[in-house]
Amino acid sequence: MRGKKGFDEVAREALITLLENFWILREKDPETYQMIQERESALKNYLLDKLGYQLIVHRHFAKLEKIPPRPEPWMGIESFQSPRDYVILCCVMAYIEGLTGYEQFILSDLCSEIQGLYPGEDNLDWRNYEHRKALVRVLSYLVELGILAVVDGDTSSFNMSEETEVLYEVSVVARYFMRTYPKDLQQFNSMADILNADRLEGEDELTGPRRRNRVYRQLLLSPVMYQEETEEADFLYLRNFRGRLQEDLETHTGLQLEVYKNTALLVSPEPRSIFTLFPNQKNLSDITLQFSAYTREQIEKEHWVPDSYGRIGITSLEFEQGVKYCHEKYSSGWSKHYREGLIKNTATEFLDFLKEWKFVKVSKDEQIIFLLPALGRLIGDYPEGFWSKLERKEE
């Protein structure tokens, strides 16, 4: 059934797919590509109007150029582990730029070129295990993305020996990896200039389309939107047009908008594999729900008191004590890694997970951990009969 401006269930599915993926390659997923192509007009109109995004439908791929309203620490390539990975990625892409679609090259040639392109005084040394691992992560990512294809050999073997040889082929989509800009990157003076590259001359940042675009981008690209992190005009817009936004987002994405005093987020009424949702399948999601229950207990006992923004500031020791409490009470249902691991190690991994989902924020001096309002939106426990079933299993 078609909704506003020809937006039907197929268009909704296509929209979510575009938001969830870097791009859709026609060769790898022809059905999804065709779905997007058939709804191209409705998708382009909606995305340009609400988010200010450009949808590119090429004969080889479909791509939504997603620009965040503000860069955040959890954004980036999940498999990358250090700034070196990103520098190597840029060097590899610079090398690929000189090649044509379906042209082949060998790993040793690439390694030699990257060493010449790598900036700074600290040169790459392929005898260094960490440097080789970084290149493997980059090449594996590019293969997964469809920019490169392995013709012969095994990329992971380079981890063990710099003498490893692999034959690669460049895809025709490689040159579309980078976003296009209205002017040369060297003409930008700051990261803010790059993020605002699509801004029209004389366009007001605090009113009109730019404000609407920022709000939609924040809601759809980020786990949660906090008043303290946004322009005052943005959260005011969200409150004033809450009903209209709620109807529009539910119609076009199937997600429901929830707005609280200082917090707004989108939730899914039912779990669907197409979404990146919390809770996910990771055991840390279970621990988050249990830690949230512990947090509520501390608030009820008035041990922890939220500030005017709904944040609760606790020390690292208090956080670790909370993880220990959850371990003592719930760890029978945890995976072996967390059930038998050191509390300190579990707390470190758990904190990183919470930061990614914007459930916590750490102070600049790393002395205080702020539990954020979205954490209080969630709570969970094991299903009825879990403990009795566990007891029978142990007998």
Residue 64 CA to residue 220 CA, distance in Å, equals 13
Residue 54 CA to residue 63 CA, distance in Å, equals 9
Q: What is the mean pLDDT of residues 191-211?
A: 71
* Coil/strand/helix, residue 363: coil
Q: What is the mean pLDDT of residues 183-202?
A: 75
Any alpha helices (H) in 1-78, and if so which ranges?
A: 9-20, 30-38, 40-50
Render pLDDT for 319-376 as a digit per residue (tens, 0 to 9): 999 999 999 998 888 889 999 999 999 999 999 999 989 999 999 888 899 999 999 8
| Topology (CATH level 3) of domain 283-390 | Arc Repressor Mutant, subunit A (1.10.10)
Lowest mean pLDDT among 172-181, 190-199, 245-254: 190-199
Residue 116 CA to residue 300 CA, distance in Å, equals 61
Rounded (5°) CA angle 252-253-258: 110
**CA distances from residue 202 to 184, 205, 213 in whole angstroms, order as listed:** 21, 9, 16
Tell me: pLDDT of 193 over 90: no
CATH 1.25.40 is held by the domain 83-176: no
Across the chain, mean pLDDT equals 89
Which residue has better confidence, 342 or 191? 342
Which residue has better confidence, 245 or 72? 245
Residue 14 tokens, joined: 């296509």
Tell me: pLDDT of 383 over 90: no
Tell me: pLDDT of 317 over 50: yes
**What pTM does this model have?**
0.87
Residue 276 CA to residue 209 CA, distance in Å, equals 27
Tell me: pLDDT of 2 over 50: no
Residue 28 CA to residue 34 CA, distance in Å, equals 12
How high is the pLDDT of residue 188? 83
Residue type at position 324: K
Cβ burial of 291 (10 Å; 0-12, 13-18, 19+) is: buried
How high is the pLDDT of residue 179? 82
Residue 377 tokens, joined: 């939106």
Residue 327 CA to residue 319 CA, distance in Å, equals 12
